[in-house]
Amino acid sequence: MSIPYTFSRTAAGLKRSVMRDLMALAVSPDVISFAGGLPASDHLPLEQLRTCFDAVLSRDGARALQYGPPYVPLREWLAAYMQRRGVDCTVENIFITSGAQQGLEILARLFLDEGAPEVLEAITFTGIQQAAQGHGALVRTVPVDLKTGIDVEALETVLARSPRARLGVVIPDFHNPLGVSVPAAHRARIAELAARHRVPIVEDDPYSPLRHAGEAQRPIKAYDEAGAVIYLGSFSKMLAPAMRLGWMVAPAALVARLTVLRESIDLESSQFIQRVAVEFLTRGWLEPHLAQLNAANRERRDALFAALERELGGLVSWTRPEGGLFVWVTLPAGVDAAELFKAAVARQVAFIPGGAFAVEGGYANTMRLNYSNVTPANIAEGLRRLGAVLKERLAVTV
């Protein structure tokens, strides 16, 4: 029971993520689920984190459990890490977040008024869409390419036609849901377009540490000489989601303003978890952890490629990610992945229909498959089931 409420205009219209509902359908232990976005549960650094929890409590005691300002050693480590990746930055440019989603939200809060234009990729992570929708953004979309990600020519056109755009968002590495990465030349172009059109472009990058093939790319932020690109990183995939920890690289004046805004939002990120992250990082444990994690991810990706070829070769096409968590599959024209989903769940296999990521609809014949949190044996069996479901559907259609 409750009194009648009057909600804010933006909150009244906020839609439940279809993706979450679908994932909820796929939690039965008998279902082989390619629907999630989780890092490999069997490769989380459990024992190392246990050591770090203990070391931080022993060394820092009560200071680790109190309130406190953003932890300077973490900001220092991140500044050095981003420098190694080609980004010109200092500790003053590092803003600590409770994960990349909070970064998206706080930037939307900082830059968007209701009806303000925001530029998004036509296919993008639902959390990016929700942050835009939650602040009433008027979304302009840029087409994506299944080999090179955001179409930079189209980005230029959209920016030129949206002189009042407040913000743009791009996922450059191992795109969610597409799996593709933006080539270096395009990255330079994106930074240049952001500067020329004076539209801050958010580089949402939770995935780049998860590279398991090919050559590492410098972030878009590395090409940014004008302070027009805002970088978002996250420990959720490179360490563990339950850290609830991430960071932003932004002009120092913006960091100062965000620090004030953050006070009113949730005060701060956990002192304890920030210190645990520093403990893990300064012990030199990140690289070995990523090496074993990415070896496992690569094995799983290869298992998925092989199973797709074996079960669905000639029927469907798919992207060829060199890292991250996802592969994007295009089904035969006319097949509705949302319909297929129901038959698939009945056959104990799940995925996310690609339409969930399509900002302006369409893409009904696509799906996102996660491989990072499925064992190779389950990948093979899951694709057998999925192949059977699709072939039945095609037989009916034909």
Asked if residue 194 binds its own copies (CB under 8 A), the reply is: yes
Only segment of 99-107, 299-307, 319-327, 360-368 that touches its own copies (CB under 8 A): 99-107
Three-state secondary structure call for residue 394? helix
**CB–CB of 271/65 below 8 Å?**
yes
Residue numbers 198-237 binding its own copies by CB under 8 A: 198, 200, 225-228, 236
Residue numbers 164-183 binding its own copies by CB under 8 A: 164, 166
29, 84, 113, 346: residue in contact with its own copies (rule CB under 8 A):
113
User: Cβ closer to its own copies: 276 or 389?
Assistant: 276
User: Cβ closer to its own copies: 93 or 217?
Assistant: 93
Asked if residue 265 binds its own copies (CB under 8 A), the reply is: yes
User: Cβ closer to its own copies: 254 or 386?
Assistant: 254
70, 134, 179, 355: residue in contact with its own copies (rule CB under 8 A):
134
Asked if residue 160 binds its own copies (CB under 8 A), the reply is: no
Residue numbers 311-370 binding its own copies by CB under 8 A: none
34, 77, 111, 326: residue in contact with its own copies (rule CB under 8 A):
111
**CB–CB of 292/43 below 8 Å?**
yes
Q: Is 17 exposed, middle or buried (0-12, 13-18, 19+ CB in 10 A)?
A: middle
22, 31, 171, 195: residue in contact with its own copies (rule CB under 8 A):
195
Q: Which two tokens stand for residue 103?
A: 């970064």
H or E stretch covering 181: none
Asked if residue 241 binds its own copies (CB under 8 A), the reply is: yes
CB of 308 to its own copies, least distance (A): 26
89, 180, 243, 369: residue in contact with its own copies (rule CB under 8 A):
243
Asked if residue 2 binds its own copies (CB under 8 A), the reply is: yes
CB of 251 to its own copies, least distance (A): 4
Number of residues that bind its own copies (CB under 8 A): 86
User: Cβ closer to its own copies: 47 or 215?
Assistant: 47
**CB–CB of 355/363 below 8 Å?**
yes
Which one, of 87, 64, 19, 20, lies nearest residue 274 by Cα?
64
- Check whether the bond before 177 is cis (ω within 30° of 0): yes
- Alpha helix positions (H), the chain: 9-12, 18-25, 46-60, 72-84, 100-111, 126-133, 152-161, 184-197, 235-238, 252-266, 271-282, 286-312, 337-346, 376-397
Spatial separation of the C-alpha atoms in residues 90 and 74, rounded to whole Å? 12
**CB–CB of 372/39 below 8 Å?**
yes
Only segment of 12-20, 213-221, 324-332, 343-351 that touches its own copies (CB under 8 A): 12-20
CB of 27 to its own copies, least distance (A): 9
Residue numbers 33-92 binding its own copies by CB under 8 A: 37-39, 41-42, 44, 46, 49-50, 53-54, 57, 61-68
User: Cβ closer to its own copies: 36 or 179?
Assistant: 36
Asked if residue 29 binds its own copies (CB under 8 A), the reply is: no
125, 231, 272, 371: residue in contact with its own copies (rule CB under 8 A):
272
Asked if residue 7 binds its own copies (CB under 8 A), the reply is: yes
DSSP output for 330-393: EPPTT--HHHHHHHHHHTTEE-EEGGGGBTTS--TTEEEEE-TTS-HHHHHHHHHHHHHHHHHH
Q: Which two tokens stand for residue 27?
A: 């939690």
Asked if residue 398 binds its own copies (CB under 8 A), the reply is: no
List b or e across 261-298, with b for residues whose CB sees 16 or more CB atoms inside 10 angstroms: ebeeeeebbbbbbbbbbbbbbeeebbeebbeebbebbb
91, 92, 109, 320: residue in contact with its own copies (rule CB under 8 A):
109
Q: Which two tokens stand for residue 200?
A: 């801050």
